[in-house]
Amino acid sequence: MTIQTVPVALGARSYEVRIGEGLIDRAGAEIVRLLKRKRVAIVTENRVAPLHLARLQAALEAEGIASSALVLPAGEGTKDWAHLARATEWLLEQKVERRDVVVALGGGVIGDLIGFASAILRRGVRFVQVPTSLLAQVDSSVGGKTGINTAQGKNLVGAFHQPSLVLADIGVLESLPARDFLAGYGEVVKYGLLGDPLFFEWLEVEGPRLSTDAALRQRAVLRSVEMKAGIVERDETEEGERALLNLGHTFCHALESATGYSDRLLHGEGVAIGCALAFELSQRLGLCSQEAPSRVRAHLKAMGMKTDLADIPGELPGAEALLALMAQDKKVIDGRLRFILARGIGQAFVADDVPGDVVKRLLTDALQGKAG
């Protein structure tokens, strides 16, 4: 299968996202042009390492690139101060210098954590993202948002630090558990919903075949990355348009917080439920027809994804408490809740003045659906 390239044009911080099957086996040839000396430090996690680390190191070795690797525990809990310290000190022990390159091999947790470690190490070293989850390939590995979670919330400490290269190997998605693949699909659908109705239409037809058809999967990743790259090029630091990428995220962050960032709700699952709620909210505010939220929910259901609050196992707090969690979201500006709403499929926009009582009623109804 051919390897496709999406350029991310950001002046001196420009880079390429390479997308295709077998890219890990070509990693040495892809990365060597970035190196001043043939040595890299890799950070990964213990679910990914047994699947892909040896292959990556062999590919580097084939180009004469020496590598050392740190394997951290898998899971969101790793995106914290303790593992940031551990990774940063390990990179220093490996004598990584400013001219060197760090490789982040893993999903969003490793990409965000190691991107941030690279941002602060020696005031900034270059890093390469090798995303191994669908979510990381279509979203978190592109655009330079890096950071960790703290007791106060998710991603509240971090930096914009663009990678020097992203290698999205479509083949690795085959080894993903079905639940993780579908969670990543939540972010794929988001691109159609926020700005490309034809992509959403295509997903309505082809979505169910993505997990088994590599060519379709590549097309979905490519279109998602193209959309993300375009948005990041126009608004790197989220002064405006980039906020559209947070479609569904205000609801999602509240639900993730309410479920303790646990296995009860994966981030991408929360995004999917959040997108369904954002369209429902848009309809209640008279911004779009009833057809739009119905189509969103129908497609998510057809994919076998979580769509409603009832699909989240266990108890949830009441509407008031969920609203309070939303108010803690970092997208709050001057105490007002910010939502990404839509005038239709593919027509999202930022709304800063959403009446709280409408949101509360929506949540109350959604929770009643859960109770019923």
By the criterion CB under 6 A, which residues form the site for ligand GLY?
Answer: 139, 143, 145, 242, 245
Choose, from 242, 299, 331, 338, the residue flagged as catalytic.
242
228 catalytic? Reply is: yes
Give least dist CB 139 to ligand GLY, A: 5
How many C-alpha atoms does 99 have within 13 Å on its Cβ side? 6
Residue 21 vs 139, nearer CB to ligand GLY: 139
Which residue, 18 or 242, has its beta carbon nearer to ligand GLY? 242
C-alpha 304/C-alpha 27 separation (Å) is 34
Residue 350 CB, shortest distance to ligand GLY, in Å, is 13
Spatial CA neighbour of 10 closest among 166, 233, 165: 233
Separation of alpha carbons 64 and 47, rounded Å? 26
Between 28 and 143, whose beta carbon lies closer to ligand GLY?
143
How are beta strands 126-131 and 66-72 bridged, if at all? unpaired
Is 269 one of the annotated active-site residues of the chain? no
DSSP run (H or E) holding 256: helix 249-258
370 catalytic? Reply is: no
CB 152, min distance to ligand GLY, A: 19
Which among 154, 228, 331, 338 is annotated as catalytic? 228
SS3 356: helix
Q: Minimum distance from CB of 232 to ligand GLY (Å)?
A: 7
Pick the catalytic residue from 39, 76, 236, 246. 246
Residue 227 CB, nearest distance to ligand GLY (Å)? 11
Q: How far is CA 1 from CA 10, 22, 171, 361, in A?
A: 28, 9, 10, 49
Decide whether 52 or 190 has the Cβ nearer to ligand GLY.
190
How far is Cα 196 from Cα 194, in angstroms, rounded to an integer? 7
Indicate if 238 belongs to the active site.
yes
CA separation for the pair 15, 75 (Å, rounded): 28
Residue recorded with tokens 């569904």: 248
Tell me whether residue 126 or residue 145 sits nearer to ligand GLY (CB atom). Answer: 145
Which among 18, 39, 126, 145 is annotated as catalytic? 145
Angstrom distances, CA of residue 237 to CA of 48, 223, 232, 278, 303:
30, 22, 8, 23, 33
Catalytic residue (one of 219, 249, 299, 306): 249
Q: What gap in Å lies between CA 310 and CA 370, rounded to an integer?
A: 4
Closest separation between CB of residue 235 and ligand GLY, Å?
9
Min CB(44)–ligand GLY separation in Å: 21
Q: With contact defined as beta carbons under 8 Å apart, do 71 and 142 qualify?
A: no
Is 256 marked active-site? no
Q: Encoding tokens for residue 63?
A: 């180009």
Q: Which of 45, 187, 256, 280 is catalytic?
A: 187
- Which of 39, 267, 295, 331 is labelled catalytic? 267
Distance between CA atoms of residues 131 and 69, nearest Å = 16
Report the residue number whose CB is nearest to ligand GLY: 245
* Catalytic residue list contains 249: yes
Closer residue to ligand GLY, CB minimum distance, 40 or 221: 221
Query: Is 123 a residue of the active site?
Result: yes
- Say which residues have a Cβ less than 8 Å from residue 202's Cβ, sequence separation at least 6: 192
Annotation marks residue 161 as catalytic: no
Name the residue nearer to ligand GLY (CB basis): 242 or 306.
242
Active site residues: 123, 145, 187, 228, 238, 242, 246, 249, 253, 267
